Copies of this chain bind each other. A is one copy, B any other.
Amino acid sequence: MFFHIKELQYHAKPEKPDPLFAKKLQEILGGQFGEISVALQYLFQGWSVRGNGKYKDLLMDTGAEELAHIEMLATMIARLLDGAPVGDLEKAAKDPVLGAILGGMNPQHAIVSGLGAMPADSVGNRWTADYIIASGNLLADFRANLNAESQGRLQAVRLYEETTDRGVKDMLSWLIARDTMHQNQWLAAIKELEAKENVVVPSTFPRHLEKREVSHVLFNFSRGNESATGRWAKGPSMDGEGVFQYVEHPQPLAKKPVLKPAPAYIHDTPPSVIQHPRDDILPPNLY
């Protein structure tokens, strides 16, 4: 159950309106790695934890905090849109700044949301749950979380570089610091789970059931062997289960597949029109 208080976790007040930056700032509110994504990702992961304890609590702590970040960004965007101009282009364009705003601001901020923030990214794509991840396997999911906080901090930093407004920079410096913590916390949790399980997810699948002969092999499918010089091509593997190998000229292990004709009621191209050689015979001219 959730309680809300109306005070903000941190300040969200620009020095002055900037409708163009409002559009850009939507990215970290409603984009792939915006605050809606992390809030719902952590909450759904938390609700799915089978058991309880510190991991579930950590997810719910952080999920609830991200709701506060949505709120801060929604507030900041509404203020950046204060009194946004929507008027006649021809008149406006005499002032180059105004012209750039009229050409560049998100028209939906005026037409659809009435100068409010939208659950959308910086080009207007509406937020979708395609962005979020909750698998029931915490090591997998904490890696998703570490990625989300890495991408999110990167985007916040880029936005910090794109404005000179001290109010906006102040709020971003808060969000960037929180992303620092969140990267740290998921790193700590990952380290602990990797120690308890193994670095390969899921750790519970018996290794003898996989084709172990290719579990630590790098296949060179892009000509040039720079990749052979990396740590991943030699030495003991990260999971302690083998040794990295490099295969310069990977070969196919299965013959050219030939699919059987479809039944007549499917009305694919009839077999008489397509050549149907005997399955799995390699034509002699291929090798």
Contact = CB atoms under 8 A, between A and B. Distances in A.
Contact of A201 (B99, B150, B203, B210): B150
Contacts of A24: 107, 111
Contact of A204 (B20, B101, B230, B267): B267
A204 B111 contact: no
A156 to B, nearest CB: 9
A49 B259 contact: yes
What range describes how many residues of A lie at the interface?
A: 35 or more
Contact of A161 (B53, B63, B86, B276): B86
A224 B156 CA distance: 31
B253 A50 contact: no
A68 interface: yes
Nearest to A249: B3
Contacts of A124: 121, 123-125
A212 interface: yes
Contacts of A138: 269, 273-274
Question: How many copies of this chain?
Answer: 6
A254 B251 CA distance: 27
Contacts of A270: 197, 203-204
**Most chain B beta-carbon contacts within 10 A, residue among A5, A154, A254:** A154
B112 A254 contact: no
A267 B79 CA distance: 17
Given A3-B223, A53-B274, A181-B218, A74 B48 contact: yes
Contact of A2 (B53, B68, B111, B123): B68
B129 A107 contact: no
Given A32-B133, A96-B99, A54 B230 contact: yes
Contact of A126 (B64, B100, B107, B129): B129
A26 to B, nearest CB: 9
Contact of A267 (B8, B83, B205): B205
A222 B102 contact: no
A68 B151 contact: no
Given A99-B100, A139-B150, A238-B188, A255 B8 contact: yes
Given A117-B47, A177-B214, A276-B52, A8 B202 contact: no
A150 B75 CA distance: 25
Contacts of A257: 6, 8, 12-13, 75, 79
13 contacts: A3-B3, A5-B224, A8-B256, A52-B275, A54-B227, A58-B227, A100-B100, A101-B103, A110-B158, A115-B136, A118-B134, A188-B230, A193-B269
